[in-house]
Amino acid sequence: MGRDSGVKVAVIGGGAAGIMAAIAASYQGAKVTILEKNPRVGRKILATGNGRCNLTNVNLCTANYHGGNPAFTHYALERFSVKKTINFFERLGVAHKIEEGGKVFPFSNQASSVLDVLRYELDRVGVKVLCGSTVSNIKTRKGSFLIEFQDGEELNADRVVLASGGKAAPNLGSNGGGYALAKNLGHSIVEPFPALVQLKLAAAFFKQVKGIKFDGDAEIIVENKVVGQASGEILFTEYGASGPPVLALSRKAGECLQKGKAAWLKMVLINTCSRDKLERYLIKRFSDNPEKELAFSFVGFINKRLAPVMLREAGISDIRKPAGHVSPAERDRILHLLQDWRFPIKGTTSWPAAQVTAGGINVKEIHQHTMESKILPRLYFAGEVIDVDGDCGGYNLQWAWSSGFVAGWSAAQIGG
C-alpha cells in the first residue's frame, strides 16, 4: 500500500505483534515477509479470551503494565492507542463490544474473526507469509541481515522485527527461542518467569477440596505486609489455587519467589462482613441448632467439602461433635481461617499453563519511540518477547498491537 519504500523487512514470528508489525510496515511501502514456525500464523490469537479474544481494554493505563520499566510502554500505547486499535479492527470488519471491566471483544464472540480479518489484510497489502519456517540464527552482513532457518535455508533482509513471543503456552508456538536469537546479537534478557498462572501452595489437603470455588479476596503477603490484593472467584485446585484473582496476583508471587523471598497467599473466604459480625453470626448459627454435628452445621454457609478440612485446620479433631460444644477458642480459630487463611506459596505452575511471560528483552536496550535496538541498528522488537507484561483483561494483546505497529512502521522507514 502507499509508496514503495523498497525496504525489505523480515518479521520473525506471526503472532499478534508480528502480524501487526507486518501490516504497519507494509502500509509504509516496505516489502514484508513473515517467518513463522507454525503451519499457520496467529495460533495463539485463537486461544485468547477463552476463544473470544479479549483484544484490548478501554480502561488501559500504564499501571496495567509490569517489567523493568513500565513507562517504556507509554509511547507505543499512545501512538497506536486503544481507540486506534478498535478503529483499526472496525475498519477491517470486526465490530466490537465492551464488557465488564472495560474488556473489548469482537461482537461475533469469535477470536477467529480477529485472525481472519488480519490474514485477509496481510494478503491484501501483499505481505509474504512463510509458515513452517523456524529461524535458527540471525547474522549481520554489510549493513543488512542474513536470516538462517532450521532447515538450512536463508533469507536476506534490510530490517528485522523480532516478534517471537515469550515462553508462555509453548504448545502454541513461542518457546523462548527468540531470546537466544537476541542474545546472539548482543542483547541481554531479564530472566523470564510465568505470569497469569496458577499458584502452587503448601498444604496436604488440596486433593480433598479440588474444584471448590468461592467468591472472596486473595492477598500476597511478604514479610507480613500485603503486597498484592485481588477479589473474585477463587478456585481450589489439586496443587493450590486458581481463578482470576489468583492469576492476577501470580506475577507478584513469581517475582518474590524469583528474588528468594518467602510469600504467602491469604484467602478471605467470607469478605462480606466484619469479624465481629461474622462472630455474632456463627454464635447464633451454633446456638440455633446446638445438637447438629459441627461439620454439618456449616452446610448452606460454606461449601460442604470445605467445612471438614477447615475445621481440622482449625485444630478441631472431633468435627462430628455437637455445634453447641464449640469452645470460644475453637470458634476463634474458625473465624480466623474464614477471614485469614494463609498458605505458603511453593511456586507457580509452569510455562504450559501460563498466559504470559514476565521478563524478556531488556527495555534499556530498546528505543521506546521506534522499538529499534540500541545495540544493533535496523533490528526491532515487538510484543511479548520484550520485558513487558500486562494484567489480565486485554492488556497483553494491546501491547502486542501497539508495539507491533510502532516496530513495523519504524522498520519500514527509508534511511538509517
Ligand X SMILES: Cc1cc2nc3c(=O)[nH]c(=O)nc-3n(C[C@H](O)[C@H](O)[C@H](O)COP(=O)(O)OP(=O)(O)OC[C@H]3O[C@@H](n4cnc5c(N)ncnc54)[C@H](O)[C@@H]3O)c2cc1C
Helix 328-339 vs helix 275-288: crossing angle, to nearest 10 = 130
Q: Could you give the string, one character per residue 176-195, with x where binding to ligand X holds by CB under 6 A and - elsewhere?
A: -xx-----------------
Cβ atoms of 398 and 85 closer than 8 Å:
yes
CA distance 29 to 5: 5
Closest approach of Cβ 195 to ligand X, in Å? 10
CA distance 245 to 268: 12
Cβ proximity to ligand X, 28 vs 133, nearer residue: 133
Closest approach of Cβ 412 to ligand X, in Å? 18
Cβ proximity to ligand X, 130 vs 202, nearer residue: 130
**Neighbouring residues of 263: CB distance < 8 A, sequence distance ≥ 6:** 220, 221, 222, 227, 253, 256, 257, 344, 345
- Rule CB under 6 A: say whether 5 interacts with ligand X: no
Cβ atoms of 189 and 375 closer than 8 Å:
no
- Rule CB under 6 A: say whether 160 interacts with ligand X: no
- Rule CB under 6 A: say whether 391 interacts with ligand X: no
The three-state secondary structure class of 119 is helix
Cβ proximity to ligand X, 47 vs 155, nearer residue: 47
- Rule CB under 6 A: say whether 18 interacts with ligand X: yes
Closest approach of Cβ 356 to ligand X, in Å? 5
Q: Count the Cβ atoms, other than its own, within 10 Å of residue 72.
A: 21
Q: Could you give the string, one character per residue 23-42, with x where binding to ligand X holds by CB under 6 A and - elsewhere?
A: ------------xxxx----
Map the footprint of ligand X across residues 335-364, applying CB under 6 A: 355-356
CA distance 127 to 132: 16
Closest CA to 248 of 262, 268, 234: 234
Closest approach of Cβ 325 to ligand X, in Å? 49
Cβ proximity to ligand X, 37 vs 251, nearer residue: 37
Rule CB under 6 A: which residues touch ligand X? Answer: 12-18, 35-38, 43-44, 47-49, 53-54, 133-135, 163-165, 168-169, 173-174, 177-178, 355-356, 383-384, 394-397, 400
